[in-house]
Structure 1
Amino acid sequence: MLSGEKLSPEEENVLTKRLKDGKQKRRLYELQRIWHAVYAHKVSEQVDEEEAWKIFVSNQKPGRKLRIWISSVAAVTILIGIALSLTQIQKRIPGFHATDTTQSSILPRNIILTLSDGQQVVLSDSVNDLQEQNGTTIRNKAQQLVYHPTVHNEQVVYNTMWIPRGSEYQLILSDGTIVWLNSESEITFPVNFTGEKREVKLKGEAFFDVAKDERHPFIVKTEQFDIRVTGTQFNVRAYTDEPASATLAEGSIQLVRQEEVIPLVPGQQALLKQGIVKVREIELREAIAWRYNAFYFKQQPLESLLNEIARWYDVEVIYQNPTLKKLHFTAGFQRSCSITEVINTLGMTQKIRLEIKGKTLLVKEYK
């Protein structure tokens, strides 16, 4: 059932009877929590199902038995798979519908909008409409900032939006382009596009759904490269402490770096590492899971995985032994999980031991 398999009539009948028992309902909830939270295993091309089951069972409290009333195949799938509803993400990814708004479970914290006159506004539910010097109306509602040009004005006026750790926000530009901003990101943009091109500057990560306008190309400028499009959906990741990348979900884009112009097709990612741009095929769920309130790591070094965790949960990571950074993991979980759930389940791999002390995450060897 949890794994997506259809139960037989006999199994459905047994399940219905069992759920009338409060203890059984709690056991089902536990399985659901595991499925929706995290399962991580040291990376290999094929998951060792028997070993994964042994690891899970060995971590259960003494004397505690899990009576699994759903089919054995479904139960094993729950526990040895990446315990995240990746199929839900996959169903939503192909179309990338703009109506999928920022997750309501995310609470904005000190998101700052800097207006053209230098005034800084902390966005909150109490902040409603703002107005810029050139007459543009800015509407803030439900974790979304929308720009409405009220009159045609050639005056170029810029705003800057800063998203701190542990937050995300949605921005709708004056041309209708939708931008989802991830944690620790900053975007600078004109409140009203004028001239021959639409240009924004980005630090950090954002997913763009660009309003189509072939006469006015849309350009995302980063410190590492530029992305040029006319109307499409793509993700740009440009943090200063890791390789920058651009991933195309729909349409087409061009990555421009110095004299080099690199076209991408859907499902491709351009990765800039040590001054060289490489294009590779990539699973979209891996690159943009954050956009759907989830994390997905496939054969990622522990350092990369925990950097992402640190950015979302606003913690500092300290390694007892630097060699631990090179361990590889595959893991998936929802961003609504608590950091305690995340580190407890990662510890189930018996490869590392994680301890949270205040805002410090200690990474130790498993002993």
Structure 2
Amino acid sequence: MDKQLLQKFLNQQCSPSEAEYVHNCLKNDPGLLERLLPEEEWIEAGRVKILWWQQFNWTAVAAVLAYAVLTILTVKYLVPEGNKQQLSYQQPASQNKQITIHNSDSTAQVINLKDGSVVKLSPNSTLQYQQPFPPSQRNLMLQGEATFDVAHDSTRPFTVTGEGINTTALGTSFRVRAFKGTNVEVRLFKGKIMIERATGASKEPFNQVILYPGQQFRYAAGKVKITQFEQGLRQQMQIKKPKPSAIENTAPMVGGVLEFDKTPLAQVCSELSERYNRPINCNKVQKPILLTGQFNGTDKLKEILNKIALLNNLTITELPDSSYQITEEK
């Protein structure tokens, strides 16, 4: 092999047959690279610029370079274009499985996580997470409502993301309500949690919030509101295996308590409809109605609607298809 053919090979201008010939020559005689292309010419060509090479044996370096050149250029010349993608590094498949749980039942579902945490997933709610959790984090995605009793682990924060808002804890007990298209609410029963907007979320920016036991976070219309709630209500939300309800309409509401604070009637009907899985139509009510109040988890849907109707001069009609129609009194 002559110097001209080597230069042609290094410039990637050889035909496949010429490249195979050069490859075999260099493979069988690594010193050939040094003899045909001395160190000075290699450096002047700009291919290698290392000042301390003088300290090393050039023959050994040439052998290493020959192997490197062969590795790179053999792929260029000898591997068909259609097969090159097979040489790319294949990352081992993750051992973590993506778990998705949707509670379509009328009662809460208890989920025991492998880290020791316990989740009470409310009806019409969906929870997503990796099993097992990665070494440095415990991230869960929630659509709907759930109560979390978090196993303490100072090395792995426990973060629940719902409707673009992150709730993070190290070891505590809290409830998140984040149904699609509704306000986001977080209640802290014990410990301490941090709440912030999730990365890339469309929510309006707000300052990081730290909650302490007995405090409730509420995000509505781009505004954050922190209030106190009665800790005694926690007893109604204890995580325990639910008992089947004898009557469909007496299924407990999500979280055991339902609160409204100057909430439009249409939104109240939407939340009640989703919680009880019963259609509620209030589109015939023209006057603006804002509702503020609290209902117990054992209240029947019809009782709640009757209370709303009584205080706002409305009429509730139960239709043959089990849906409810709300109208203004004449």
Q: TM-score, normalised by structure 1?
A: 0.51
CA distance 1:165–1:314, shift in 2 (3 Å): farther
Written as runs of structure 1 = structure 2, the 5 A alignment for 1:177-196 is: 177-196=117-136
- 1:169 pairs, out of 106, 109, 112, with 109
Is the 8 Å Cα contact of residues 314 and 359 (structure 1) preserved in structure 2? Answer: no
User: Secondary structure of the equivalent of 1:312?
Assistant: helix
CA distance 1:273–1:334, shift in 2 (3 Å): closer
Measure the CA separation in 2 of the matches of 1:350 and 1:169: 35
C-alpha deviation, 1:210, in angstroms: 0.3
Letter in 1 for 2:237: R
Measure the CA separation in 2 of the matches of 1:285 and 1:317: 31
- 1:264 pairs, out of 211, 233, 239, with 211
Written as runs of structure 1 = structure 2, the 5 A alignment for 1:1-367 is: 155-164=95-104, 166-257=106-197, 258=199, 260-276=207-223, 278-284=224-230, 291=237, 293=252, 294-297=256-259, 299-301=261-263, 302-324=265-287, 326-335=289-298, 337-349=299-311, 351-357=313-319, 358-367=321-330
Is the 8 Å Cα contact of residues 163 and 181 (structure 1) preserved in structure 2? Answer: yes
Measure the CA separation in 1 of the matches of 2:118 and 2:112: 5
CA distance 1:179–1:197, shift in 2 (3 Å): same
Q: TM-score, normalised by structure 2?
A: 0.56
Further displaced range: 283-292 or 176-185: 283-292
Higher gyration radius (CA) = 2
| Residues 222-247 of structure 1: per-residue CA shift (max 9 Å, x gap) | 34121111001111111122121222
Measure the CA separation in 2 of the matches of 1:228 and 1:159: 20
Further displaced range: 324-333 or 260-269: 324-333
C-alpha deviation, 1:196, in angstroms: 0.9
Measure the CA separation in 1 of the matches of 2:307 and 2:215: 31
C-alpha deviation, 1:299, in angstroms: 4.7
Is the 8 Å Cα contact of residues 235 and 288 (structure 1) preserved in structure 2? Answer: no
C-alpha deviation, 1:279, in angstroms: 3.8
Is the 8 Å Cα contact of residues 177 and 210 (structure 1) preserved in structure 2? Answer: yes
CA distance 1:319–1:279, shift in 2 (3 Å): closer
Is the 8 Å Cα contact of residues 202 and 221 (structure 1) preserved in structure 2? Answer: yes
Tell me what 2:37 maps to. Answer: none
C-alpha deviation, 1:218, in angstroms: 0.9
Aligned residues: 212
CA distance 1:340–1:240, shift in 2 (3 Å): closer
CA distance 1:230–1:299, shift in 2 (3 Å): closer
Measure the CA separation in 2 of the matches of 1:284 and 1:229: 21
Is the 8 Å Cα contact of residues 310 and 317 (structure 1) preserved in structure 2? Answer: yes
CA distance 1:281–1:223, shift in 2 (3 Å): closer
User: Secondary structure of the equivalent of 2:133?
Assistant: coil
| Residues 237-259 of structure 1: per-residue CA shift (max 9 Å, x gap) | 11122121222221111112248
Letter in 2 for 1:282: Q
Measure the CA separation in 2 of the matches of 1:241 and 1:256: 18
Is the 8 Å Cα contact of residues 317 and 324 (structure 2) preserved in structure 1? Answer: yes
User: Secondary structure of the equivalent of 1:343?
Assistant: helix
Tell me what 1:4 maps to. Answer: none
CA RMSD, Structure 1 to Structure 2 (Å): 2.9
Measure the CA separation in 1 of the matches of 2:138 and 2:114: 10
Is the 8 Å Cα contact of residues 249 and 284 (structure 1) preserved in structure 2? Answer: no
| Residues 5-32 of structure 1: per-residue CA shift (max 9 Å, x gap) | xxxxxxxxxxxxxxxxxxxxxxxxxxxx
Is the 8 Å Cα contact of residues 202 and 220 (structure 1) preserved in structure 2? Answer: yes
Is the 8 Å Cα contact of residues 189 and 234 (structure 2) preserved in structure 1? Answer: no
User: Secondary structure of the equivalent of 1:183?
Assistant: coil
Is the 8 Å Cα contact of residues 184 and 218 (structure 2) preserved in structure 1? Answer: yes
User: Secondary structure of the equivalent of 1:306?
Assistant: helix
Measure the CA separation in 2 of the matches of 1:161 and 1:345: 34
Identity of aligned residues (%): 22
Is the 8 Å Cα contact of residues 163 and 184 (structure 2) preserved in structure 1? Answer: no
User: Secondary structure of the equivalent of 2:295?
Assistant: strand
Measure the CA separation in 2 of the matches of 1:339 and 1:317: 10
